[in-house]
Structure 1
């Protein structure tokens, strides 16, 4: 069905990441590629001053290690990609740079706060140039 799938995984819900990785594997064409993506959000400058200089690099390495462990656990072959910045923007940028034809992202059932600030999944759906599969999760 799909040749290149971006699977956005947040470590706050690693079980969701495993579920959507398996979904991606089931939708992948023979010879296709899955890109397992985790985004490290930028730390505001006023906060970063108080933090160790290598905090972002350490967080990126930790994310890389966790994604590799998840892939080993599931037995799913995927390229690991770690980006930093606003999550929705990083997900869309990754999809464009890889020429993805599908993004899979987990999302909880929206609550009242999503109507004011918007969820990452909402932004990805609105702005992605490829298909987006939102895996709904119960809160």
Structure 2
């Protein structure tokens, strides 16, 4: 049986679980077609304005810079070529928007059985699976 290869793979990585994301990134490299492209994506959530009033103005900018630095570091560590991209907004929406913008044919999202403490990670993967227009691989 011939294994399907993909031309554009989105690998969303959450900053709190970079090691889990690294596994998904390495898996993406094995599924990538010759001449294909992997996009490492981190989506920075905007802070609601009623909360933002009490937070430093540079908080979001720092999160964007930190996300970019961690993804660049992951790319260097693995030696896997990839484009690094930072999105903003709700995670599932940012992942789906990036997949559409890049005409991705696969999203590999790291997830695990959600419990109360990581409920949103499970919810994000669930939302991506339900609404993506391309194949989604949930890596547990």
| TM-score when normalising by structure 2 | 0.91
Match of 1:65 among 64, 69, 75: 69
- How many Å separate the matches in 2 of 1:83 and 1:54? 16
Give secondary structure in 2 for the equivalent of 1:22. helix
Give secondary structure in 2 for the equivalent of 1:119. helix
How far apart are 1:110 and its partner, in Å?
3.2
Unpaired stretches in structure 1, ≥5 consecutive residues: none
- How many Å separate the matches in 1 of 2:118 and 2:68? 29
| 1:87-131 C-alpha deviation (Å, 9 max, x unpaired) | 00000000000000000101111347999xx61000000000000
How far apart are 1:16 and its partner, in Å?
0.5
> In the alignment, what sits opposite 1:104?
108
> In the alignment, what sits opposite 1:8?
12
| 1:27-76 C-alpha deviation (Å, 9 max, x unpaired) | 00000000000011111111101112122112101110110001100111
Match of 1:50 among 50, 54, 69: 54
Question: 2:35 aligned with 1:31, yes or no?
Answer: yes
Q: Return structure 1 stretches of 4+ with deviation > 3 angstroms.
A: 110-115
Give secondary structure in 2 for the equivalent of 1:100. coil
